[in-house]
């Protein structure tokens, strides 16, 4: 297995699925179009929902598509910087079937990509299938997937296991959903594991890292967990690009991935703070690195800082990054310079970054200046209070 850059992995994935007859589509905007249930796009399938339900005809008449989708998830924002895995921005690679191929091809191609294109060692790969849980249509175990992995793909049964709804049934509120299979990479025993003798995929420790989720989208959830069968069987897979990059580059943390580390290096060069200097400096460097990735992408998709909705998410991320800059001892706006590195690292995949470069820089600088003015005004009030 050769070390591969994040940009190379993205390209290898998309061209692999093109070779399997998939239409390569650009990432959709982070701003959901015609979907009021989401503030920001949070998975590869989110912009494609109408194709799964059959409401919209397949894109350019093609029932197979592959994308690398920009995604933002903020529920774990407080953990960003403190762990090796949490980030608010990530890229999700996916191959999709809109009523075309189903489980058998999805499993075989995922395995082929892992073992022949990425050249991951088979003895490090583990697969889970849905064990079934509860009543009704969504309660049945996925024996079909188990059989495909064991007998068609040839995964050793000791590397195959069954997990319940929390791990192996994919849904976000209302909409297309279904049982899933996940592929894990074994990083070797984790000294922090609380039950090393029984450690297996699904364990909370860092030994088995899940990097690819294959969803067999066959049901619709009406939003109250009432499931009906969709008119067509679909495939929605999501492979975390940063996670695969960690595996291919032999690093534990997403912040050590090549393109992401280049952003941290730029922050270090501007602020003088060295990565590895102390835990608190590392946390600040990682928060800035993550947040400047998300905010640069959000602004390139037309979001502006404001006090509500998406604009508020953007403002909060920018101000958190600016505050961590202050913790590193930087008094002047600096994020507007760091965003150039984000643009350079990712513009090949997202040309809108380069097209909107001047606008992105302007928006970030203005928000940094506004934030600095707010802090100065607050400090003045505090000092005046002390004098009275």
Binding region for ligand SER (CB under 6 A): 43-45, 94, 170, 213, 215, 236-238
User: Exposed, middle or buried, 369 (CB in 10 Å: 0-12/13-18/19+)?
Assistant: middle
The candidate with the shortest Cα–Cα distance to 258, out of 354, 344, 185, is: 344
Nearer to ligand SER, 113 or 170 (CB): 170
- Nearest distance from C-beta of residue 235 to ligand SER, angstroms: 9
Q: Which residue is nearest to ligand SER (CB)?
A: 238
- Nearest distance from C-beta of residue 49 to ligand SER, angstroms: 10
The dihedral through the CA atoms of 106, 346, 369, 366 has a sign that is negative
Place of tokens 């928006």: 363
- Nearest distance from C-beta of residue 66 to ligand SER, angstroms: 12
239 forms beta bridges with 93, 212
- Nearest distance from C-beta of residue 176 to ligand SER, angstroms: 9
Nearer to ligand SER, 44 or 58 (CB): 44
Nearer to ligand SER, 91 or 352 (CB): 91
Nearer to ligand SER, 45 or 118 (CB): 45
- Nearest distance from C-beta of residue 212 to ligand SER, angstroms: 9
Distances (CA, A) of 346 to 17, 182, 349: 21, 27, 6
Nearer to ligand SER, 234 or 284 (CB): 234
Nearer to ligand SER, 66 or 237 (CB): 237
Nearer to ligand SER, 236 or 352 (CB): 236
- Nearest distance from C-beta of residue 170 to ligand SER, angstroms: 5
Distances (CA, A) of 286 to 218, 254, 279: 39, 10, 10
The dihedral through the CA atoms of 33, 35, 41, 47 has a sign that is negative
CA 105 – CA 96 distance, rounded (Å): 11
Nearer to ligand SER, 43 or 284 (CB): 43
For residue 207, count other CB atoms closer than 10 A to its CB.
20
Nearer to ligand SER, 217 or 289 (CB): 217
Distances (CA, A) of 198 to 150, 164, 195: 22, 17, 6
- Nearest distance from C-beta of residue 349 to ligand SER, angstroms: 18
CA 359 to chain centre: 25
The pair of structure tokens assigned to 292 is 């400047």
Buried b (16+ CB within 10 A) or exposed e, 304-323: ebeeeebeebbbbbbbbbbe
- Nearest distance from C-beta of residue 65 to ligand SER, angstroms: 12
- Nearest distance from C-beta of residue 108 to ligand SER, angstroms: 18
CA 237 – CA 66 distance, rounded (Å): 9
CA 380 to chain centre: 41
């Amino acid at each position: 297995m050769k070390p591969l850059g994040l940009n190379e992995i993205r390209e290898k994935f998309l061209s692999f699925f093109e070779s399997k007859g998939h239409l390569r589509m650009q990432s959709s905007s982070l701003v959901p179009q015609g979907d009021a249930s989401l503030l920001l796009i949070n998975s590869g399938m989110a912009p494609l929902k109408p194709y799964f339900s059959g409401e919209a005809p397949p894109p350019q008449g093609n029932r197979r598509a592959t994308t690398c989708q920009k995604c933002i998830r903020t529920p774990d924002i407080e953990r960003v910087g403190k762990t090796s895995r949490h980030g608010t921005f990530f890229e999700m690679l996916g191959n999709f079937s809109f009523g075309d191929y189903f489980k058998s091809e999805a499993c075989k191609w995922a395995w082929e990509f892992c073992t022949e294109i990425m050249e991951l060692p088979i003895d490090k790969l583990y697969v889970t299938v849905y064990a079934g849980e509860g009543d009704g249509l969504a309660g049945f175990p996925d024996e079909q997937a188990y059989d495909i992995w064991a007998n068609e793909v040839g995964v050793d049964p000791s590397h195959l296991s069954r997990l319940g709804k929390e791990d192996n049934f994919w849904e976000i509120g209302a909409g297309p959903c279904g049982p899933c299979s996940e592929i894990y990479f074994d990083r070797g025993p984790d000294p922090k594991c609380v039950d090393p003798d029984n450690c297996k995929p699904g364990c909370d420790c860092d030994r088995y890292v899940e990097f690819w989720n294959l969803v067999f989208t066959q049901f619709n959830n009406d939003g109250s967990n009432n499931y009906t069968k969709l008119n067509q069987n679909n495939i929605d897979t999501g492979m975390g690009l940063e996670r695969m990059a960690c595996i291919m580059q032999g690093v534990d943390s997403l912040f050590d991935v090549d393109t992401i580390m280049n952003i941290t290096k730029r922050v270090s060069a501007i602020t003088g703070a060295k990565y590895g200097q102390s835990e608190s400096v590392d946390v600040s460097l990682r928060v800035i690195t993550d947040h400047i990735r998300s905010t640069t992408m959000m602004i390139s998709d037309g979001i502006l800082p404001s006090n509500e909705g998406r604009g508020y998410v953007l403002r909060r991320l920018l101000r958190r990054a600016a505050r961590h800059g202050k913790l590193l001892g930087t008094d002047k706006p600096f994020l507007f310079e760091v965003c150039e590195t984000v643009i350079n690292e990712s513009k090949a995949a997202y040309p809108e970054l380069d097209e909107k470069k001047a606008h992105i820089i302007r928006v970030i600088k203005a928000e940094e200046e506004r934030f600095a003015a707010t802090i100065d005004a607050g400090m003045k009030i505090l000092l005046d209070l002390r004098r009275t």
